[in-house]
Structure 1
Amino acid sequence: MKIEIIGAGAVGLLVASFLAEKQASVKLITRTEQQAVQLKVNNLMRTNCDGTTSVFPIDAAASLSGDADIIVIAVKYGQLQDVFKQLQTVKPTTPILFLQNGLAHYDEALRLPFHQIAFCSVQFGAQKINEYHVAHKGIGPMKIAVAKGEKIFFSHLGAYSSERFLIVFEGDAEAMLLEKAWLNCFINPLTAILQVPNGQLIQRIDAFQLLKKLYNEMIMAFPQFAENFHFEQVVALCERTAENTSSMLADVLAGRETEIETIVGAIIKKAHIDNKQLPILQTLYLLVKALEESGERM
């Protein structure tokens, strides 16, 4: 089975490394020809959670081959329109798997003319070191849910699951994405504004109090999460990823557009549909938007 991954950022590189480790036929589709060359010359390097390094030969190119058995899209939401143009030459029978944060891409993806579409929620940590080197920064599952078509077209990906790269299949794609976006609302905006690693949210008294108030507000707006998701799990998530730089903070520090709209903005819109108010989250949303507009590093 030929797997092509569009996007060679942190997530794309990490997923490719674990697939290559399991002897999958995987090819990275890069934004530039230069990165493709670097990957083929230097191989794909992964720094593991225990500090060891693994190296894998990898195929890479700046364009799709046209004969992939499955295409994985691992770019951020803002790059999806360019990817949709690339997909115009792909056969509609080719299964497509989306690996984006947030909810904004869900309806857009389902409007594409492909017969088999699935979505993914990743809960591991990844940090891009350079064009061919990625660091695994936290172990967590890669959840997959089919939204259009049949699970059988994606189920073979389960063969590449491992203890460090657990692949789990879920039943409801939209609910899975909502849950991940809901979780991201706790860590991403706060770390981006305070410019601290994840662990500081529970180590600093002021940040911890804000985190607790945000949790209470979110539970009031989304009571369906109250039974199975307690504040202790938010704390545990911060502990498990204590040294990690959130993706939103990384974007702010690099002067890039963040995913505030597709993550936090989408959750705020969901709450408004049910006439629920999220004043703390709304304030965090506006602060991150202000950081984006000014390019200021607080």
Structure 2
Amino acid sequence: MKPKIGIVGGGAIGLYFAAQLSAYADVTIFVRRAEQQAKLNTEGIKLGTKTFSVKSTLIQEQDSRKQDLLLVTVKSYQLAELTSQLETFPKETPLAFLANGIGHLKWLEELSAETILLGITSHGVVRTGDREIESSGKGETELGIWRGELDKQLKNQFTQFRDFSIRFSEDIFKAIYRKLLINAAINPLTALLNVPNGSLLTNKEFNNFLREVVQEANQVLHVENGLEIVEEICQNTASNWSSMAMDVLHKRQTEIDAIVLPVLELLTHEGLSAEKLTMLYQLIKGKERENAKLDD
């Protein structure tokens, strides 16, 4: 019997997971806008040249609350406003969060869900419309228990999906800190410089600054071979633009508060140098304010 998987968020990652999991699960996408809901229900998700049929419902409506697992894929700064909606699901429903950074961890403590999972994903996806997405690189997804426990049968089903397997980790924070280091170094730099990831390797001055940022952040994240990992990501995604770079380009709010701010707080708490990250944080916040003025 197929598991029932709900996906909260109709952004790039939410649509990508819904499309990929639709072959193995009974998928319902919970979205905020009726226009997107209607398109998904009538036309499905278009990934490249393929179309995937899925069910969509509005998050504010009370149907489809019975799910075996709820994947929450919205941006980190959108999580707080979802509290009331998430609380309408049975507390026995496991919640799995794929938000970037660690800024949302304190907020999770307020939820009544008995089981909460944290996760990371490295799939590269861009949304081009309410139902259209493009893949810029297949990656991996890793989940780990933060609170409670997950049904063994459901866990086994997830790991056996043939073309879209999800790994489970006993130490999910190791993976989260690894991705946090990558994001804290690459995202704000590419956003401010308006360059793809590979330019942080090919431009000597950019690369020198990248190295200093990695060294500074890794004082508290303690990622083994941190610089090598960050530079390998730059190499493997050389032509890709980071999500923060795209957010700044399109004058959207960024996830700087979830990615860089927690690292700054850790550094400040330990009395360690945070000069480079402080500068990146302030400049991105300044960009957000300028973009907000242009939208007024």
TM-score (norm 2): 0.90
For the 8 Å contact 1:145–1:176, the answer to whether it is kept is: no
Identity among equivalent pairs (%): 29
Q: What is the match of residue 130 of structure 2?
A: 131
Secondary structure, aligned partner of 2:47:
strand
1:26 maps onto 2:27 in alignment: yes
Map 1:244-283; keep pairs closer than 5 Å: 244-283=240-279
1:155 maps onto 2:169 in alignment: no
TM-score (norm 1): 0.90
> How many residues in Structure 1 have an aligned counterpart in Structure 2?
287
For the 8 Å contact 2:181–2:226, the answer to whether it is kept is: no
Gap regions ≥5 residues in structure 1: 48-52
The runs of at least 4 consecutive aligned structure 1 residues that moved more than 6 Å come to none
Secondary structure, aligned partner of 1:126:
strand
Q: What is the match of residue 139 of structure 2?
A: 140
Secondary structure, aligned partner of 1:146:
strand
1:41 maps onto 2:42 in alignment: yes
Deviations 1:80-128 (A, max 9, x none): 1221111222111111111100111112113311111101111121111
After TM superposition, the structure 1 stretch with the greater mean CA deviation from structure 2, 284-293 or 165-174, is 165-174
Mapped to 2, the partners of 1:121 and 1:276 lie a distance apart of 27
For the 8 Å contact 1:147–1:172, the answer to whether it is kept is: no
Q: What is the match of residue 200 of structure 2?
A: 201
Superposition deviation, residue 160 in structure 1: 5.4
Gap regions ≥5 residues in structure 2: none
RMSD: 1.9
Mapped to 2, the partners of 1:127 and 1:294 lie a distance apart of 24
Secondary structure, aligned partner of 1:222:
helix
Secondary structure, aligned partner of 1:215:
helix
Corresponding residue to 2:9 among 7, 10, 14: 7
Change (3 A) 1:2 1:223: closer
Change (3 A) 1:282 1:79: same
1:291 maps onto 2:290 in alignment: no
Deviations 1:199-244 (A, max 9, x none): 121122221121122223333x13732xx32423222101211222
Letter in 2 for 1:10: A
Map 1:68-217; keep pairs closer than 5 Å: 68-152=67-151, 155-159=155-159, 161-162=161-162, 165-217=164-216
Mapped to 2, the partners of 1:111 and 1:157 lie a distance apart of 29
